[in-house]
Amino acid sequence: MEYTPIRATVSAETITKVTRLFNGTVTDIVNELIQNSRRAGASLIKFTVEGIECGASRVTIADDGCGIDDPSRMLALGSSRWGEEVSESEDPAGMGVFSLAGKQVTIFSRHASQESAWYAEIDPDAWTGEKDIPLSETERDIGTTITFVLDKTNPGFVESQIHKAARFCPVLVELNGAEVPSEDFLEHAVYIEEWNGSRIGIFRGAWRTYEENVNFHGLTIATKLASIDERRHDSYYARLDIGSTPDLKLVLPARKEFVDNETLRDLRLSCERAIYRAIGEQEFHMLPFGHWERAKELGVDLPEAKAQLYPWVADTADHGNNPPLGNITEVTDEHVLVPNYDAWIDQPLDRALALPLLGKVLSADRRFEGYSWYDNMRRVTDLNFIVEGEVDGETKSFTVTTKVAAEGEEEPEAFPDRFEATAITAQVKVLDPKTDTTEFHNLETDVALDFDPWSCGDELDGARIAYRPNDALTPGVLSAMLKDAVFSPRDDGDGDSYETQSQYFETQALALAYELLVSEEAAIYSSFEDALRYNTPCIPDDKVLQIEVRKSVDYKFNLVDDDPAGYAARSAKALDLVTRMAGELSEDDEGDVIIPWAYITEESDDEDFDLDDESNKHNPLWTEIKAIAEGSNEAATDAPRREADFYGVWEDHPGYPSEDWQYEVANGDTRASYWDWVQSKVDADREERAEKAAERASDDQAA
């Protein structure tokens, strides 16, 4: 088969798809019409926007450009009517007017070479070439006027898009008779240089990917050019104001991105080079060493970065809440670089460094490695914590190292958890590269931390704590340090809010600090002291707030009359009864203290009431009987207070005291009658047990 040459063509069917070449937004329409007026040589572009029925807007754009000489070419898709100069410098697509496709449009135009103007009204269905568009002669000055209708838009939106399109347009634009403000796209640049007929401007600040950084005669787009960050000092980015650079091409027809070609790649290199030149004109810079080398590759020689660093600040496990860096400091021979360790190393180290090296430590920043001043700084090269204390009557020493054990090397023995040490020392090794000498500092401190290797490293339970009690190490200081060293909030869907997680951890840490430094009882008090203190004013003067808090049980509150005499009388009776009951307590096979259910509820049961089963805590006798069984009668004197709490929950727990008893309480019977009721149950149970014992003895004898 013989083949003939082929060539690319445009199908006649293309015109039927013209309504989809542009997205039909107000932004696209306004931009395209302004570009056409500018190319026509207009010195003034006038917009008029008026509201019509159903929330629609009628928009008119009129210019004093050269006008349109041939109406047919205006609607010839892809046919550019512009002269050679415009075609060569801007590469117009010949499609701009089709941004109005699908809309009702009226056009008036008069070319400079013509005596009269022409007029055309284009229906929405005429854009696809399927029907003729009548032309009429009319009067108009040289230029073009286009009127179109936009469907319902938000009030002020059309006007805002006109302002945006005119902001960097080189032609004067008016809106409803008022001049629209405009400005140079490179205004406020710290450095500007010419590039192939266009201008590159360098700005301070961080460029954001959505920020428009290219201006095509008023049409702005966002694209990647070049940006450079200095180390916590400044940032720079490039903008491009396009003039006449024919080889730099935008994707047609909308011109919202560049065509990827060699000119674009050269532009990006030129923008990067321009940033380094701009930095070179500043008083000093803080570029990382890698950027400094890159500038040299691009032919820009820069001095070394200024010798200054931030003070060393202990890191926190909560990286979203790190402490402020402080003021940047000029480097001197006295300063020492401290590397970046984990928070559980940094926090104890901070307490050690607070003595001899205060004010002399700076934060290491590896991005400056390579600069002569940085490479010659004194620096911490090794850090260990030595923990000493007694274990089983023997003095032992433990090492917490910051180095990872080599393959086959054993990790040092860890100190016991919650370890009260007799001495804790931070061993710091400092190297001076200038003299190649090493200094050793043994710094006394009072806390060392380590983590269980199987721990996630962000929970208090996984932290192994060694502490040396002293006046400076208060529970508040220790708990704050533990939070900084360990607390890292969960940000997944299963986690509570940050505030809830933070407050819960603080409560845990403070309770642990009190337990370690004061006592277990103080730890319990500390957990509730602040909350109770701030809420005490809410309690009426003649009332007592009873609070019962146990793990895994809902809190119970009961506000009762303040009646010390009544409490004393009822307590005496309760103590007598419970003491007698305690004499009949026994132990089960596992050694747990038990009491027959019949002592507690009117429904007799073969099962026993286990005092070590915390699910029984809702019963008022649980605390009193358990306390007496363990040899403490004092707790029972408070039985009526707990008893009052039990009254409040009876109705929520059917099967406890009988309906008759609930009726008696509702009618004002005294609380002490409850103990009479219990006494009757005790007596009945005693008789029943005696009978069963006699029966078993008789059976045994018979056997």
DSSP assignment of 185-200: TTTT-SEEEEETTEEE
Select the more confidently predicted residue: 333 or 624.
333
Distances in whole angstroms, Cα of residue 257 to Cα of each of 161, 215, 333, 378, 488: 19, 11, 52, 50, 43
Q: Please, what is the end-to-end C-alpha distance for the chain in angstroms? A: 117
What is the structure's pLDDT at 54?
Answer: 79
Q: Are residues 324 and 462 in the same domain?
A: yes
Q: Are residues 585 and 681 in the same domain?
A: yes
In a domain, 496, yes or no: no
Q: Are residues 218 and 82 in the same domain?
A: no
* Cα angle for residues 428, 432, 437 (degrees, 5° grid): 85
Q: Are residues 202 and 171 in the same domain?
A: no
Q: Where are the beta strands (DSSP E) in 30-134?
A: 44-51, 57-63, 105-110, 117-122
Query: SS3 of 553, please?
Result: coil
Is cis: bond before 303, omega within 30 of 0?
no
- C-beta separation of 585 from 625 below 8 A: yes
Distances in whole angstroms, Cα of residue 649 to Cα of each of 459, 609, 612, 617, 645: 37, 19, 21, 12, 7
Select the more confidently predicted residue: 467 or 683.
467
Q: Are residues 74 and 102 in the same domain?
A: yes
Q: Which residue has the tokens 């009072």?
A: 446
To the nearest whole percent, how much of the chain has pLDDT over 70?
Answer: 66
The whole domain housing 598 covers: 546-693
Whether residue 488 is predicted with pLDDT greater than 60 in this model: the reply is yes
Distance CA 279, CA 272 (A): 11
Domain boundary residue among 179, 212, 237?
Answer: 179
Count of CB atoms within 10 A of residue 135's CB? 13
What is the structure's pLDDT at 666?
Answer: 38
Distance CA 12, CA 10 (A): 6
Q: How confident is the model at residue 363 (pLDDT cuts 50, 70, 90)?
A: very high
What is the structure's pLDDT at 19?
Answer: 55
Select the more confidently predicted residue: 494 or 635.
494
Distance CA 147, CA 100 (A): 10
Select the more confidently predicted residue: 540 or 82.
540
Q: Are residues 260 and 385 in the same domain?
A: no
In a domain, 302, yes or no: no
> For the stretch 227-241, what's the b/e string if a residue is b when 16 or more beta carbons lie within 10 angstroms of its beta carbon?
bbbbbeebebbbbbb
In a domain, 522, yes or no: yes
Select the more confidently predicted residue: 278 or 542.
278
DSSP state of 371: B
H/E element, 291? helix 289-297
Q: Are residues 351 and 397 in the same domain?
A: yes
Sheet holding 172-175, edge to edge: 135-138, 117-122, 105-110, 143-150, 57-63, 44-51, 172-175, 178-179
Q: Which residue has the tokens 């190649």?
A: 436
What is the structure's pLDDT at 561?
Answer: 57
Distance CA 492, CA 242 (A): 46
Please write the tens of the pLDDT for every residue from 310-351: 999 889 988 877 777 778 899 999 999 999 888 999 999 988
Q: Are residues 233 and 99 in the same domain?
A: no
DSSP collapsed to 3 states, 73-101: HHCCCCCCCCCHHHHHHHCCCCCHHHHHC
Q: What is the mean pLDDT of residues 382-396?
A: 93
In a domain, 365, yes or no: yes
Structure tokens, 146: 């286009």
What is the structure's pLDDT at 582?
Answer: 42
Select the more confidently predicted residue: 692 or 40.
40
Q: Which residues contact 475 (CB under 8 A, 6 or more apart)?
A: 510, 513, 514, 517, 518, 522, 526
What is the structure's pLDDT at 210?
Answer: 79
Q: What is the mean pLDDT of residues 423-435?
A: 94
Q: Are residues 102 and 49 in the same domain?
A: yes
What is the structure's pLDDT at 233?
Answer: 64
Q: How confident is the model at residue 566 (pLDDT cuts 50, 70, 90)?
A: very low
DSSP collapsed to 3 states, 453-494: CCCCCCCHHHEEEEECCCCCCCHHHHHHHHHHHHCCCCCCCC
Structure tokens, 340: 């970046």
What single letter denotes the amino acid at residue 323? Answer: P
Structure tokens, 240: 């491009």
Distance CA 74, CA 83 (A): 14
What is the structure's pLDDT at 694?
Answer: 80
Whether residue 562 is predicted with pLDDT greater than 80 in this model: the reply is no
Whether residue 281 is predicted with pLDDT greater than 80 in this model: the reply is yes
List the single range of 431-440, 482-491, 618-627 with lowest mean pLDDT: 618-627
Select the more confidently predicted residue: 9 or 344.
344
Whether residue 114 is predicted with pLDDT greater than 70 in this model: the reply is yes
Sign of CA dihedral 275, 280, 284, 288: positive
Whether residue 365 is predicted with pLDDT greater than 60 in this model: the reply is yes
Whether residue 219 is predicted with pLDDT greater than 70 in this model: the reply is yes
Q: Are residues 274 and 339 in the same domain?
A: no
What is the structure's pLDDT at 147?
Answer: 94
Please write the tens of the pLDDT for every residue from 166-186: 999 999 999 999 999 999 999
* Cα angle for residues 334, 339, 345 (degrees, 5° grid): 115
List the single range of 47-56, 248-257, 489-498, 628-637 with lowest mean pLDDT: 628-637
| Torsional class of 448: left (φ above 0), alpha (ψ -120 to 50), beta (otherwise) | beta
- The pairing of strands 191-195 and 198-204 is antiparallel
In a domain, 541, yes or no: no
Domain boundary residue among 119, 146, 179?
Answer: 179
Distance CA 430, CA 428 (A): 6
What is the structure's pLDDT at 85?
Answer: 56
The mean pLDDT value of the chain amounts to: 76
φ, ψ (nearest 5 deg) of residue 236: -135, 145
Select the more confidently predicted residue: 509 or 409.
509
Residue 35's CATH number: 3.30.565.10
Q: Are residues 455 and 591 in the same domain?
A: no
Whether residue 569 is predicted with pLDDT greater than 70 in this model: the reply is no
- C-beta separation of 286 from 232 below 8 A: yes
To the nearest whole percent, how much of the chain has pLDDT over 90?
Answer: 36
What is the structure's pLDDT at 266?
Answer: 95
What is the structure's pLDDT at 356?
Answer: 59
Q: Are residues 670 and 578 in the same domain?
A: yes
Q: How confident is the model at residue 192 (pLDDT cuts 50, 70, 90)?
A: very high
In a domain, 105, yes or no: yes
In a domain, 6, yes or no: no
For residue 543, the cross-strand partners are 561
Please write the tens of the pLDDT for every residue from 439-470: 998 999 999 999 765 555 457 877 899 999 99
Domain count along the chain: 5
Structure tokens, 81: 């009517």
H helices present in 45-156, as ranges: 71-74, 84-90
What is the structure's pLDDT at 613?
Answer: 58
Whether residue 539 is predicted with pLDDT greater than 50 in this model: the reply is yes
What is the structure's pLDDT at 16?
Answer: 56
What single letter denotes the amino acid at residue 95? Answer: M
List the single range of 20-24, 35-39, 538-542, 576-580 with lowest mean pLDDT: 576-580
Structure tokens, 227: 């940006």
Distance CA 702, CA 63 (A): 126
Q: What is the mean pLDDT of residues 227-243?
A: 87
Q: Which residue has the tokens 């923990």?
A: 387
In a domain, 94, yes or no: yes
Q: How confident is the model at residue 10 (pLDDT cuts 50, 70, 90)?
A: low
- C-beta separation of 423 from 444 below 8 A: yes
Select the more confidently predicted residue: 51 or 456.
51
